[in-house]
């Protein structure tokens, strides 16, 4: 019975799985990050972006430097409530959608204002950009007698043909890269035996001295 128990015990020890290799942390991070990133890219709604450009033109008793300064100033006020309220009627969307989806950009070298709008629908994105650009041009025209600078349309926004949001493949690739990086960091900081160290072995116990003493006495 003891022999059978010993065999069963040995068989259990042989079938016990060993520790996972160190690179498994990196592989698990890449797999998890890729799945999460790809899922995020598939669930996130597709966004389209259209851009309209305005040009600041100096008038009488004005110069290009003045036009450049007013172009940057108009770029800052393009998303103010007064401008968005004027653009709302032309865009056909609520003011909150304009405030959330419209962004402006200016250049330190050219007197231009770029008005970009983002929306799940491409036609709506173009309409939003053109509406805000038109409202901003009308606002500049109302004070042209004082500023001596006017904003004129340079290029109108057109309906975008391709989405501006990242695809599921791109988000999956980014997620896999981030997951692999986190797995590598976890591999570096995990507790373990330092290289070059040896496991201390137990000191050998001295043999029994009773039998030797008994033989010497005889």
Q: How many residues does the chain have?
A: 218
Domain boundary among 99, 133, 155: 155
Q: What is the pLDDT of residue 40?
A: 56
Least confident of 36-40, 76-80, 101-105, 156-160: 36-40
Query: Is residue 201 in a domain?
Result: no
Residue 181 shares a structural domain with residue 82: no
Query: Is residue 139 in a domain?
Result: yes
Residue 33 shares a structural domain with residue 118: no
- Reported as a pLDDT band with limits 50, 70 and 90, residue 34 is low
- Reported as a pLDDT band with limits 50, 70 and 90, residue 128 is very high
Query: Is residue 175 in a domain?
Result: yes
Mean pLDDT of 183-209: 58
Residue 115 shares a structural domain with residue 32: no
Residue 35 shares a structural domain with residue 61: no
Q: What is the pLDDT of residue 165?
A: 54
Residue 131 shares a structural domain with residue 146: yes
Residue 115 shares a structural domain with residue 58: yes
Query: SS3 string of the chain?
Result: CHHHHHHHHHHHHHHCCCCCCCCHHHHHHHHHHHHHHHHHHHHCCCCEEEEEEEEEEECCCCCHHHHHHHHHHHHHHCCCHHHHHHHHHHHCCCHHHHHHHEEEEECCCCCEEEEEEEECCHHHHHHHHHHHHHHHHHHHHHCHHHHCEEEEEEECCCCCCCCCCCCHHHHHHHHHHHHHHHHHHHHHHCCCCCCCCCCCCCCCCCCCCHHHHHHHHC
pLDDT in tens, 136-147: 999 999 999 889
Which pTM was predicted?
0.61
Q: What is the pLDDT of residue 59?
A: 86
Strands across the sheet containing 48-58: 102-106, 112-119, 48-58, 149-155
Q: What is the pLDDT of residue 92?
A: 85
pLDDT at 3 over 70: no
Containing domain of residue 182, as a range?
22-44+167-186
Q: Report the share of the chain in percent with pLDDT over 70.
A: 56
Q: What is the pLDDT of residue 62?
A: 83
Mean pLDDT of 56-81: 90
Q: What is the pLDDT of residue 166?
A: 56
């Amino acid at each position: 019975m003891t022999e059978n128990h010993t065999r069963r015990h040995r068989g259990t020890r042989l079938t016990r799985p060993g520790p996972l290799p160190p690179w498994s942390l990196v592989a698990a991070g890449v797999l998890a990050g890729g799945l999460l990133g790809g899922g995020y890219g598939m669930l996130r709604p597709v966004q389209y972006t259209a851009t309209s450009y305005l040009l600041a033109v100096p008038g009488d008793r004005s110069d290009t430097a003045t036009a450049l300064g007013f172009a940057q100033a108009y770029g800052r006020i393009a998303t103010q409530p007064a401008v968005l309220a004027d653009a709302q009627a032309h865009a056909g969307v609520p003011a909150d959608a304009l405030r959330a989806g419209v962004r402006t950009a200016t250049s330190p070298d050219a007197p231009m204002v770029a008005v970009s709008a983002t929306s799940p629908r491409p036609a709506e994105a173009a309409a939003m950009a053109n509406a805000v650009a038109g409202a901003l041009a009308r606002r500049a025209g109302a004070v042209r007698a004082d500023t001596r600078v006017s904003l004129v349309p340079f290029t109108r926004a057109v309906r975008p043909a391709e989405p501006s949001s990242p695809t599921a493949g791109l988000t999956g690739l980014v997620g896999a890269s981030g997951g692999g990086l986190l797995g590598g960091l976890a591999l570096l900081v995990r507790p373990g035996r330092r290289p070059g160290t040896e496991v201390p072995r137990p000191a050998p116990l001295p043999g029994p001295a009773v039998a030797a003493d008994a033989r010497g006495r005889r």
